[in-house]
Amino acid sequence: MRVTVFLAALCLLAFQTKASDTEKILRSKPEKITVYLQGAQVFRTGALSLPQGESTIIFEGLEKNIDPQSIQASGIGNCVITETQYLLHYPALQKLKANGNVKYARTLKELDDSLLQLSYDTESIHNQREVLDTEKGVLLNYGLYKGLSKKDSIAFLKDGLSFLREKLNNINNELLRLKKDEAKLALKISSIEARKAQIESEQANKDLSTQQADKPDYRIVVTIVADAATSATIGINYFVPDAGWAPTYDLRTESMEKPIQLTYKATVFQNTGTDWKDVKLTLSTANPNQSFNLPVLNPYFVDVYKNQAAKKSGRTERSSSFNTTTTLSAPIFNNLSYESNQQKDVVITSEEAYDYVVMDENLIQAEFEIRLAYSIPSDNKNHFVSILNKELKTHYVHKTVPKLDLKAYLTARITNYEELNLLPGKANVYFGGTFVGKTFLQTGSTEDTLELSLGQDKNVTVMRNKIKDKSKERLADNDKIYEVAYEIIVKNSNSKSIDIEVLDQVPLAKSQQVTIQKLELNGARQNDITGEIKWRHTIKARDNRKDAFSFMVKAPKNMQLVVK
């Protein structure tokens, strides 16, 4: 009988050992993360020894909201991966929680008992004070001391006052003693209540920490089969939606003689529930949520439009043609924008962070591989990652619209920016070491030039004056003729020559009764659709340029016009 029990125990022990050998838990950390404009692909690996046969590898402590359809597993070693699963595991910590509550409950009961006894003592003092106050009132209201007694001998009065003095002194001394005792009891009650509040706070924090520990653990379970015991490295990767990045730029230049320096940065955020510590990041412009199915054209019909409302009201219908095409759903580009007053990289090095970025470009996306390790906590806040720094081919041009503003603004025109694969995003502009303002880089357009405003140049002054001897009104038969002429003077006080564009306009006629004729444009280019006229000049240092233009407006004399 004893031999049978002993053999059964050995078999049970062998079974438990075998079960523990075939199920292994890995607590890994993210090694590489590809962050998309919306979402991220997380890569993890773990090395372990596998027994012969089937084993279950559990990757625990993963991010929340993992897309189960995106999970992929791979292995290096003499083994075969047969299955992957996404599971939620809830740890059981009720014993620890219960033990903690028992200790706190015992202490709290002792404190409550003490408070109850002190309340009885306080009530006893109140009762004694009421008795003494009543006795004092009786003495003070006694008729002998108010002259109401018929016994008015001096000796009797002296004895009465002596008795009153003695009794009042005793009563007042007793009331003072009770007051001191009551103050001591109040201090004890306050101290015990403070201790009780502290214990309740500790209990609440302990319960909170236990609840935190009781939160679900997100796991990926990988089933592996090995022909023989071996060592292997198992890797998993998966997609999480609670992350992303958006582009942001710094544009800097010291003067008009130097090109603009572009600093391309990314604001990376994640709220996956797991901190990413010292990981290699790759920033991708791809959209993993985009559909890769080729759109299909639906039949295109032309039919007669039937106005049901007109038909019901008895009005005559007009036939017209219209098309009823089906709108094809297109993927939506998520344009995320973030701002922060404190823009700093997570990793600070002696060299610039953008020196450790490699760009991989293909036909449908661009990827920026960040060779420095970054830490991105799960706080849903923006964390800045440097991508590249590039000197841009820049041409500086001043612009002025003196009809609206007698100021000249310096603009920078940037060419050949397409090769940088820039995305639309906000940019901070710095000129001469001073923050000028913010702008928006609208990339991806058909234009091959970006134009940025760098603010007002106070060394360039502009004047716009009406030429009085050429501006007049006169009548001709039944018409009224307005002749208007302006002079624009631009002075360059810079020590270098500048290129400048001067913009103005001539009016356009809405009525056929109004005729507008351009008299003089002084070499300006005109846009017949908008009425805009433009001069382009190079003005030398300490020099000025004068332009003039005039036009004539002809309208019936009884038509009220405002011409300026």
Q: What per-residue confidence (pLDDT) applies to 54?
A: 92
Separation of alpha carbons 445 and 418, rounded Å: 10
Encode pLDDT of 281-296 as tens digits: 999 988 777 665 677 8
- Mean pLDDT, range 232-250, rounded to an integer: 93
* pLDDT confidence band for 320 (50 / 70 / 90): very low
Q: What per-residue confidence (pLDDT) applies to 356?
A: 55
Q: What per-residue confidence (pLDDT) applies to 346?
A: 39
* pLDDT confidence band for 125 (50 / 70 / 90): confident
- The domain segmentation of the chain, as residue ranges, is 19-90+216-240, 94-213, 243-290+312-456, 460-556
Encode pLDDT of 460-510 as tens digits: 999 999 999 998 888 888 889 999 999 999 999 999 999 999 999 999 988
495 within 8 A of 504, measured Cβ to Cβ? no
Separation of alpha carbons 402 and 200, rounded Å: 73
- Residue 286: helix, strand or coil by DSSP? coil
- Residue 465: helix, strand or coil by DSSP? strand
Q: What per-residue confidence (pLDDT) applies to 315?
A: 43
State whether CATH 2.60.40 applies to domain 460-556: yes
| Amino acid letter, residue 292 | F
Q: Of 383, 388, 391, which Cα lies nearest the Cα of 355?
A: 388
- The owner of tokens 């509550």 is 101
**528 Ramachandran zone, left/alpha/beta (phi>0; psi -120 to 50):** alpha
Encode pLDDT of 265-275 as tens digits: 999 999 999 99
Separation of alpha carbons 175 and 196, rounded Å: 31
DSSP string, 214-256: TSPEEEEEEEEEESS-EEEEEEEEEEESSEEEEEEEEEEESST
